[in-house]
Structure 1
Amino acid sequence: MRAKDATSNGPIALDRRAIDNLRFIRETMERAVAFTAVSGWGLILTGVVACVAGVLAARTDDRRAWLEVWLGAAAIGFSVSALAMWRKARRSQTSLLSKPGRKLMINFSPPISAAVLLTAALVRSEQFDLLPAMWMLLYGAGVTTGGAFSVRPVPLMGVCFMLMGAFALFGGSAWRDGLMVASFGGLHLVFGFLIARKYGG
């Protein structure tokens, strides 16, 4: 009975099965492939920007000026990292809008959006001392969840950010600039070097 059905359906059934199998294989491969366009050099440059910002921020006693320094550093670091990622993807012929790339962005965006909103709320209530811990925790959360679709050092870097953020949360304002430099500066430099060395730039 089964042989008769296969014969009666003929090439059409085989074509459909082959197309379904190819689609399944393609989707499985897309899910399995890590997003490798995260640029180690971009992270290194971001780390350098953060180190410079830390020096400048430590020299001011004005909280608004301190905030402007770090927000400016964040904007520059994000731009540099995004450009470096785009260049790496182009060089390796990888689409930033591939499934792993889209998943990385989708998982990275909510914690960063929350960080933006909480920054505005904390500044409005003049709770500046909570900003560094909140930035480290939410940036770390975004890197950890988004990095699940990237190479191994990326989510590990996110966990390190969260650990430093937890320490900053209870460490008091005396550790503020030091932890900002150690995390946004040091962690980006260390993990950027690892990614650049092991994953093609």
Structure 2
Amino acid sequence: MESKKYLEDITEIKDLMNRSSRFISLSGLSGILAGIYAISGALITYVFFLPKGDYVVLHSWNFRMIVGILIAVAVLSFVTAYLLTSRKAKRNNESVWDETTKRLLINFLIPLVTGGIYILIKLNSQHYGLTGSLMLIFYGLALVNASKYTIGNIKYLGYTEIIIGLICAAFPGYGFWFWVLGFGVLHIIYGSLIYFKEEKA
């Protein structure tokens, strides 16, 4: 009996240590909403700003509008994730901003910012074909790189984004649709899995 209690105490201590060195898992609902934002932005882009059978020219009005939509989707996704994750942290009496959060953001932003700069360099050289692929690959790398600082299986979302990005590189003419799959559909699937797991917990 004493031995069983000792093992339970050890397990609880290990769990507390693990949680203290990792950021709380993101809200599943935030993943679902991020996917919806991405698909909505893609739909607006496809209907109003994407030339049929041609690439968007850098510095054109269409290009600026598409960049604006991308930024809007990213900001909405970030704000939604922050608000819902903060609410989840408050409910679980956990801190949402500490040294672990800073490490998570740094590890997430390094590949993401590097990828963003590289994509802009390629666009400025009028190499448009792999933009969607590069966005997916660098985003996937950012998720994998940050996953060691968060609770949950976000690394698997990262692996999937990388794989889709590599497939997209083999079919550059379909970059837009791979982007919708990676940033839209996958986020909804991943967010739904996390959400229903949370509901059962």
Same fold (TM over 0.5): yes
Amino acid in structure 1 at the alignment position of 2:139: Y
Change (3 A) 1:82 1:118: farther
Residue equivalent to 2:185:
186
Q: Secondary structure at the match of 1:126?
A: coil
User: What do the CA deviations read for 1:171-201 (whole angstroms, capped 9, x no partner)?
Assistant: 112x122111111011110111111222469
What is the deviation of 1:32?
2.0
Gaps of at least 5 residues in structure 1 are 1-25
Q: Secondary structure at the match of 2:126?
A: coil
Alignment TM-score, normalising by the size of structure 2: 0.75
Does the CA contact (< 8 Å) of 1:37 and 1:94 recur in 2? no
Does the CA contact (< 8 Å) of 2:31 and 2:190 recur in 1? yes
Residue equivalent to 1:32:
18
| Structure 1 range deviating more: 50-59 or 125-134 | 125-134
Residue equivalent to 1:18:
none
Change (3 A) 1:30 1:129: farther
Q: Secondary structure at the match of 2:130?
A: helix
Does the CA contact (< 8 Å) of 2:25 and 2:152 recur in 1? no
Change (3 A) 1:107 1:199: farther
**RMSD, matched Cα:** 2.5
Does the CA contact (< 8 Å) of 1:46 and 1:77 recur in 2? yes
What is the deviation of 1:80?
2.0
Residue equivalent to 2:29:
41
Residue equivalent to 1:97:
97
Distance in 2 between residues matched to 1:53 and 1:171, nearest whole Å: 22
Change (3 A) 1:142 1:190: same
Trace 1:66-105 onto structure 2 (pairs within 5 A).
66-105=66-105
Residue equivalent to 2:5:
none
Alignment TM-score, normalising by the size of structure 1: 0.75
Does the CA contact (< 8 Å) of 1:40 and 1:193 recur in 2? yes
| Structure 1 range deviating more: 28-37 or 121-130 | 28-37
Residue equivalent to 1:169:
169
User: What do the CA deviations read for 1:28-60 (whole angstroms, capped 9, x no partner)?
Assistant: 766522432411111111000011112122222
Does the CA contact (< 8 Å) of 1:153 and 1:194 recur in 2? no
Identical positions, percent: 20
Does the CA contact (< 8 Å) of 2:129 and 2:175 recur in 1? yes
Change (3 A) 1:192 1:125: same
Gaps of at least 5 residues in structure 2 are 1-12, 57-62
Residue equivalent to 1:51:
39
Distance in 2 between residues matched to 1:45 and 1:118, nearest whole Å: 28
| Structure 1 range deviating more: 155-164 or 104-113 | 104-113
What is the deviation of 1:99?
5.0
Distance in 2 between residues matched to 1:94 and 1:37, nearest whole Å: 11
Does the CA contact (< 8 Å) of 2:161 and 2:182 recur in 1? yes
Residue equivalent to 2:8:
none
What is the deviation of 1:147?
1.4
